[in-house]
Amino acid sequence: MIFFVIAVVLVPHLLALLTVWHWWRWRRYQSTALLLHIIIALGMGIVAFVAFPWCYTSVYFPFVYGGVGLLGLWLPLVRKKRPASRARPTLLQVIWAAVLFAFSVSLWWSRRPPAATVDWPLPLQGDHYYTQQGGHSWLTNPFHHRYHAQSMALDIVQLNKWGNRASGFLPKSLADYEIYGDTIFSPVYGVVVRHREDWPESTPPAMDARLPLGNHVFRSEERRVGKECRSRWSPYH
């Protein structure tokens, strides 16, 4: 539980605060130092705002941090100009910039769809849905990416007016989760071949390893691609 709180709450907020602090330290640098400064600041911001789910606290926090960071960029322009810093970049700064640049590229790649894709409508018809986990990278989809069969799976939650997925951080009642009781619609025509709805419901983040599928629906979907007729098994749980 402590690791979970650190991973989904403390780390993204700390990275966001570091990003804001980095922007507020902005000053006139020489070309190489300025480039590293921009890469580090942008890299930390991208990792903090894209790699971590903000629905545990509020999805509006990134906008707050972004506004404060932009204010830090604007203030030096109205202050008395200072001479450009002649400080040379350190090896640690170069390594940190390279790591953040690699993470940013990986995040961009993880959100690009594979070559062969099919556009399906969202199986939910309400408002304010948020992808808590998704993408084909361990950075944005760490839980599902560990299992090949689930590597492209999504965790979708619904947000309340505060930008949170539930009333409270980890409520004990499932009814406190905004998406609880929502209706799932099949995005394409198909035949339900198996379903299960009598297994006990777990309260996040608790899981029952003995029942990996949980309550679920399996649908056999037939669709024509060219002259072929393909059959696919699709779970919704």
Reported as a single tens digit per residue, the pLDDT across 9-45 is 888 899 899 888 888 876 655 667 778 878 888 888 8
Would you state the structure tokens that stand for residue 86, as one six-digit string? 């002649």
Q: Residue 225 has what pLDDT?
A: 41
Average pLDDT, the chain: 79
Q: At 5, which helix (H) or strand (E)?
A: helix 2-5
Instruction: Using a pLDDT cut of 90, give the percent of the chain over it.
Output: 17
194 or 150: which leads in pLDDT: 194
77 or 95: which leads in pLDDT: 95
CA–CA separation, 188 and 220 (whole Å): 10
CA–CA separation, 86 and 57 (whole Å): 41
Q: Residue 84 has what pLDDT?
A: 55
Q: Residue 82 has what pLDDT?
A: 55
Sign for the CA dihedral angle at 28, 33, 38, 40 comes to: negative
Ranges of H-type helices in 6-123: 11-24, 31-50, 61-78, 91-110
Label residue 45 exposed, middle or buried (CB < 10 Å: 0-12, 13-18, 19+): buried
Q: Residue 60 has what pLDDT?
A: 94
Which tens digit of pLDDT belongs to each residue from 127-179?
A: 899 998 888 788 888 888 777 777 778 889 999 999 999 998 888 889 999 99
Q: Any residues with CB less than 8 A from the CB of 96 and at least 6 apart, and which?
A: 40
- Of all residues in the chain, what percent are helix, strand and coil, respectively (each to 5)? 40, 15, 45
pLDDT surpassing 50 at residue 205: yes
Q: What is the mean pLDDT of residues 104-128?
A: 82
CA–CA separation, 191 and 105 (whole Å): 40
